[in-house]
């Protein structure tokens, strides 16, 4: 085995960032060959140099203080915009091989035979692996239920399931060799919906299930079922003056992150493996990877490579185990990069759902009850389905006061593509249905839809259907008031002195209308999303914070395993460290598994939980620094003993602002380092029969007003404005907050008017696995998104902040649908809306 080369100093250094020129030099000096990387080599027995594209530490400085509440710029922003950022797919290692996965061409089949001999005989091919080559008894993985085969064993359950692996010295060679693997399938009948999945004699996706949900589900093709029963919905329905019932369908949305699944596995001399990968939770990956490889976790050393978006789609494993298996088998570094086609099969999607809702209300506009049933299609493997069921059921009522509810949510096992985590996670589907219901109820009652919502809006202290009180501000009515109070964009906004500006019309540059058939509509929606992992999960994070003097300046280093997937956590961590430790320079260490788990970059939780962990570790470091100061200088000034002390501007100061000492003098050559775990308040599981329990940590609320122009003859839609008001508790970085809200809003717009993975109901095969036919919004589809940010502190959370990333994705979709309904008068019970739905031409 040849030794790998050192990363060229001139190569794109991955996420190495700095806020000024001096810091840039520091970052370059901290390239992979530095002393700390060397320490890892000694400890782990890994190779002496990291591959090209390995993330390096990022030092951020600022002439301003750059603490929380300021819009400090993202350290990775310029690199990404200029194309210099090293994503996981850019990684390179001398002597590396390329891995290729052979995937099933059918959705449900028995594998009659599998012949790899011809593939293995190809020149340049180093290994071909199938199920029979898996090294241990652990051959499945999964986030909660380990039901997903690393490689298919005798049966494939969905279109695109991994069947075999190839490693070759060139990606084209690997691709061709994979095509020479002969697989004989005997096709089996497919189950694709609730009726076929639970029909008598339906094929079972996982016969002999013994997972912890198997005992309480009504059918083995149901992954999990969560009822939530509170009060007496039947009796309450008797008090209703109007009852509105609706059936809603939510299509399968894809995360559509731009950086395909990719990574590099490098075998180590100690028999372990170094894995560089784009993921959302390093330690969750590690827990699933190591047993399959038959390695102790400390021999699988993971580093986060540059992540090109995630949105939930990287919670499950993709190429991680496959690359490690090939690397350990061949003794060579193995890189795997999916292409766009494979990416559509390489990650889970948002659960499509069918939702049946019944609401009642009194004549004076008070909701009486809710009965609903939510059926989520989880596809062939469990992934995050149980937790999605928990969210969908517990948030099924939305941000409204309803005392009497009868709610049921289930997730199915079918032969459709596996579905799991995506931004909004179960709450998105429910919001689409309850917000449509609110508009219909208001119409039945002859009330204004916003006033009707405000009348029933939840407040601080309201009990959720789970019996849990909402114990922080819940400004639902105020958010609605704010979006409604905003002036509307001018009518016929496409008219110019030169004629119609087609860019401002439905159809855009396709020149389909100059105003003919165009009708405006306005719609409102509001939603509630839980923040953090719920239902009793031990949802903690870990931060290692170090403080020392470098080149005459106090510098803090923050080391966590948080996956930076674009949310801006690396920016916020530096802001927190500056605020707590009073330093200008903060270095963010690359995320890896040499520090404790940070939990997932999911559930809008990272600023709360890993931000909280960084804050906590900084406070512990500060105590140690102050203790050093007291030992050295305590006798010089009585305030060392009597005042509350802070670290500000590189100095120790009293809360009255008096400077007691310089951090450089306090620290001298001491290094203060703390690694500590931090937890938010514990939660409880929901009762399996009644759904009662304090299951959630925190909530995030957003409201939208959509203004659309619909070409009613052609069924084309142009969203003109999508105003959002959201309570963020505390905006740690206001610019990033607005960016998150605009991004989430746009992702919600996408599933309102275009985004859908189309699965053939007869074959369960995906019909549009490409960006040619899976459409996501372009800039001409993206409206003006004015954002109104509220900061009502949640006293339970660090700095009073709320997780913000998901809430805007909820209400955006139903607001757009409401606006299209207003423009067309059509019922539109499904999303995304297609031109056929608007023109009666299905």
Partner 1 sequence: MDFLRPATWEEALAAKAEHPSAVPIAGGTDIMVEINFDHRRPEYLLDLNRVEPLTEWEVGADTVRLGASVPYSRIMERLRTELPGLALASHTVASPQIRNRGGVGGNLGTASPAGDAHPALLAAGAEVEAESVRGSRRIPIDAFYTGVKRNALAPDELIRAVHIKKATGPQQYSKVGTRNAMVIAVCAFGLALHPDTRTVRTGIGSAAPTPVRAGDAELFLGAALEEGGFWESGRALPPALARQFAQLAAGACNPIDDVRGTARYRRHAVGVMARRTLGWAWEQYRATGRPLEGAA
Q: Which of 766, 805, 754, 753 is nearest to 346 (CA)?
A: 766
**How far is 81 from 761, CA to CA, in rounded Å?**
41
For position 501 contacting partner 1 by CB under 8 A, the verdict is yes
Binder of partner 1 out of 65, 155, 175, 830 (CB under 8 A): 175
Q: Does 115 bind partner 1 (CB under 8 A)?
A: no
Residue from 493, 512, 690, 692 that binds partner 1 (CB under 8 A)? 512
Interface with partner 1 includes 772 (CB under 8 A)? yes
Using CB under 8 A as the binding rule, whether residue 506 contacts partner 1 is answered as yes
Q: Which stretch binds partner 1 (CB under 8 A): 346-354, 423-431, 619-627, 707-715?
A: 707-715
Q: Minimum distance from CB of 805 to partner 1 (Å)?
A: 25
Nearer to partner 1 by C-beta: 341 or 633?
341
Tokens of 123: 């020149």
Q: How far apart are CA 780 and CA 452, in angstroms?
A: 33
CB 468, min distance to partner 1, A: 41
Of 304, 467, 280, 478, which Cα lies nearest the Cα of 383? 280
Q: What is the CA radius of gyration of the chain?
A: 27
* CB 135, min distance to partner 1, A: 31
Cβ neighbours of 713 (radius 10 Å): 15
> Does 841 participate in binding partner 1 (rule CB under 8 A)?
yes
Residue 642, C-beta contacts closer than 8 angstroms, at least 6 positions apart = none
In 3D, which of 783, 791, 779 has the Cα closest to residue 816? 783
Strand ranges in 551-597 using DSSP code E only, listed in sequence order:
553-559, 585-588
Q: Are 515 and 493 in contact (CB under 8 A)?
A: no
**What SS3 state is found at 638?**
coil
CB of 606 to partner 1, least distance (A): 32
Q: What's the closest the beta carbon of residue 669 comes to partner 1, in angstroms?
A: 54
Q: Is 245 in the site for partner 1 (CB under 8 A)?
A: no
764 vs 758: CA distance, rounded Å: 9
Pick 583 or 749: Cβ nearer partner 1: 749
User: Which one of 4-12, 161-169, 392-400, 773-781 is the stretch in contact with partner 1 (CB under 8 A)?
Assistant: 773-781
Note if the bond before 832 is cis, omega within 30 degrees. Answer: yes
Task: Kindly indicate which of the ranges 346-354, 422-430, 658-666, 772-780 contains the residues binding partner 1, using the contact rule CB under 8 A.
Answer: 772-780
Distances (CA, A) of 243 to 397, 449, 523, 593, 629: 15, 16, 22, 54, 69
Token digits for 432?
Answer: 């689409």
Could you give the string, one character per residue 323-342, with x where binding to partner 1 holds by CB under 8 A and - elsewhere?
----------------xxx-
* 716 binding partner 1? (CB under 8 A): yes
Residues 6+ apart with CB under 8 A from 117: none
Question: Based on the number of CB atoms within 10 Å of its own CB, is 760 exposed (0-12), middle (13-18) or buried (19 or more)?
Answer: middle
203: contact with partner 1 by CB under 8 A: no
Candidates 187-195, 594-602, 764-772, 817-825; binding stretch for partner 1 (CB under 8 A) = 764-772
CB of 335 to partner 1, least distance (A): 18
Q: Which of 511, 636, 659, 685 binds partner 1 (CB under 8 A)?
A: 511
Binding of residue 781 to partner 1 (CB under 8 A):
yes
- Does 723 bind partner 1 (CB under 8 A)? Our answer is no
Euclidean distance between CA atoms 139 and 466, whole angstroms: 37
Cα separation of 42 and 175, whole Å? Answer: 37
Q: Check the CA dihedral 644-680-584-547 and report its sign.
A: positive
Distance of closest approach, residue 837 Cβ to partner 1, in angstroms = 10
547 near partner 1, rule: CB under 8 A: no
The owner of tokens 């299905």 is 842
CB of 257 to partner 1, least distance (A): 18
- Binding partner 1 (rule: CB under 8 A), the pick from 84, 403, 662, 713 is 713
Q: Determine the 3-state secondary structure of 108 from DSSP.
A: coil
Residues 809-838 that bind partner 1 (CB under 8 A): 834-836
- Could you tell me which stretch among 256-264, 502-510, 669-677, 733-741 binds partner 1 (CB under 8 A)? 502-510
Supply angle C-alpha 439, 445, 451, rounded to 5. 60
Nearest to 529 by CA among 470, 571, 601: 470
Contacts with partner 1: how many residues (CB under 8 A)? 48
When asked if residue 64 is in the footprint of partner 1 (CB under 8 A), the reply is: no
With CB under 8 A as the contact rule, the residue among 2, 82, 113, 496 that binds partner 1 is 496
Name the segment binding partner 1 (CB under 8 A); options: 384-392, 498-506, 624-632, 653-661.
498-506
Provide the binding-site residues for partner 1, judged by CB under 8 A: 175, 339-341, 496, 498-503, 505-514, 516-517, 713-716, 718, 753-754, 758, 767-768, 770, 772-773, 775, 777-781, 834-836, 839, 841-842
């Amino acid at each position: 085995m040849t030794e790998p080369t050192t990363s060229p100093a001139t190569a794109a250094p991955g996420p190495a960032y700095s806020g000024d020129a001096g810091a840039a030099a520091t970052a370059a000096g901290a390239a992979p060959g530095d002393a700390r990387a060397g320490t890892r080599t000694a400890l782990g027995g890994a190779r002496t140099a990291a591959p090209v594209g390995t993330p390096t530490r990022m030092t951020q400085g600022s002439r301003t203080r750059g603490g929380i509440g300021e819009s400090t710029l993202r350290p990775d922003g310029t690199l990404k915009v200029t194309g210099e950022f090293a994503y996981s797919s850019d990684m390179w290692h001398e002597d590396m091989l390329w891995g290729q996965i052979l995937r099933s061409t059918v959705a449900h089949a028995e594998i009659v035979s599998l012949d790899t001999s011809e593939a293995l005989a190809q020149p340049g091919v180093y290994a071909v692996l199938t199920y029979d080559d898996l090294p241990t008894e652990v051959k499945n993985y999964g986030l909660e239920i380990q039901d997903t085969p690393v490689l298919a064993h005798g049966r494939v359950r969905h279109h695109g399931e991994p069947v075999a692996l190839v490693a070759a010295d060139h990606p084209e060679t690997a691709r061709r060799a994979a095509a020479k693997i002969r697989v004989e399938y005997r096709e089996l009948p497919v189950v694709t919906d609730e009726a076929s999945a639970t029909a008598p004699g339906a094929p079972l996706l996982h016969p002999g299930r013994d997972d912890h949900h198997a005992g309480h589900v009504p059918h083995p093709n149901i992954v999990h079922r969560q009822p939530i029963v509170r009060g007496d919905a039947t009796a309450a329905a008797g008090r209703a003056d109007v009852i509105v019932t609706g059936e809603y369908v939510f299509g399968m949305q894809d995360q559509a992150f731009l950086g395909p699944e990719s990574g590099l596995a490098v075998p180590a001399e100690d028999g372990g493996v170094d894995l560089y990968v784009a993921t959302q939770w390093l330690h969750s990956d590690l827990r699933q990877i190591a047993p399959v490889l038959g390695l102790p976790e400390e021999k699988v050393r993971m580093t986060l490579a540059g992540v090109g978006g995630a949105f939930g789609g990287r919670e499950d494993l993709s190429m991680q185990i496959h690359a490690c298996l090939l690397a350990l088998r061949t003794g060579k570094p193995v890189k795997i990069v999916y292409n766009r086609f494979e990416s559509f099969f390489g990650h889970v999607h948002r659960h499509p759902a069918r939702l049946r809702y019944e609401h009642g209300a009194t004549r004076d506009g008070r909701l009486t009850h809710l009965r609903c049933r939510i059926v989520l299609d989880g596809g062939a493997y469990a992934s995050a389905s149980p937790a999605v069921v928990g969210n969908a059921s517990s948030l099924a009522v939305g941000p409204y006061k309803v005392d009497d509810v009868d709610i049921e949510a289930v997730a199915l096992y079918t032969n459709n593509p596996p579905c799991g985590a995506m931004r909004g996670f179960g709450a998105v589907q429910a919001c689409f249905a309850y917000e449509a219901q609110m508009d219909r109820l208001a119409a039945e009652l002859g009330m204004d839809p916003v006033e009707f919502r405000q009348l029933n809006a939840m407040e601080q202290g309201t009990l959720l259907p789970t019996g849990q009180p909402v114990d922080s501000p819940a400004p639902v009515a105020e958010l609605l008031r704010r979006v409604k109070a905003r002036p509307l964009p001018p009518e016929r906004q496409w008219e110019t002195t030169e004629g119609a500006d087609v860019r401002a019309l439905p159809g855009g540059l396709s020149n389909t209308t100059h105003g003919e058939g165009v009708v405006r509509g306005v719609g409102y929606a509001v939603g509630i999303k839980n923040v953090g992992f719920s239902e009793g999960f031990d949802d903690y994070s870990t931060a290692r914070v170090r403080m020392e003097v470098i080149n005459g300046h106090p510098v803090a280093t923050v080391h966590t395993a948080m996956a930076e997937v674009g949310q801006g956590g690396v920016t916020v961590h530096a802001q927190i460290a500056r605020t707590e430790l009073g330093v200008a320079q903060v270095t963010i260490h690359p995320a890896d598994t040499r520090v404790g788990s940070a939990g997932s970059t999911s559930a809008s939780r990272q600023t709360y939980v890993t931000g909280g962990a960084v804050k906590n570790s900084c406070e512990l470091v500060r105590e140690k620094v102050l203790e050093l100061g007291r030992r050295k200088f305590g006798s010089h000034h009585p305030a060392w003993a009597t005042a509350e002390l802070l670290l500000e501007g590189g100095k120790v100061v009293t809360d009255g602002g008096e400077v007691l000492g310089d951090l450089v003098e306090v620290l001298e050559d001491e290094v203060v380092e703390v690694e500590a775990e931090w937890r938010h308040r514990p939660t409880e599981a929901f009762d399996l029969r009644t759904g009662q329990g304090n299951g959630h940590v925190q909530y995030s609320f957003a409201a939208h007003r959509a203004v659309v122009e619909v070409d009613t003859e052609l069924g084309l839609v142009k969203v003109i404005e999508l105003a959002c008001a959201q309570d963020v508790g505390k905006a740690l970085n206001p610019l990033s907050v607005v960016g998150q809200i605009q991004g989430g809003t746009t992702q919600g717009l996408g599933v309102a008017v275009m985004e859908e993975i189309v699965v053939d109901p007869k074959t369960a095969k995906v019909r549009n696995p490409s960006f040619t036919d899976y459409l996501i919004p372009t800039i001409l589809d993206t409206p003006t998104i004015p954002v109104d940010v509220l900061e009502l502190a949640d006293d339970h959370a660090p700095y009073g902040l709320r997780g913000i990333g998901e809430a805007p994705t909820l209400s955006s979709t139903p607001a757009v649908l409401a606006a299209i309904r207003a423009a067309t008068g059509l019922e539109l019970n499904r999303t995304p809306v297609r031109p056929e739905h608007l023109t009666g031409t299905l």
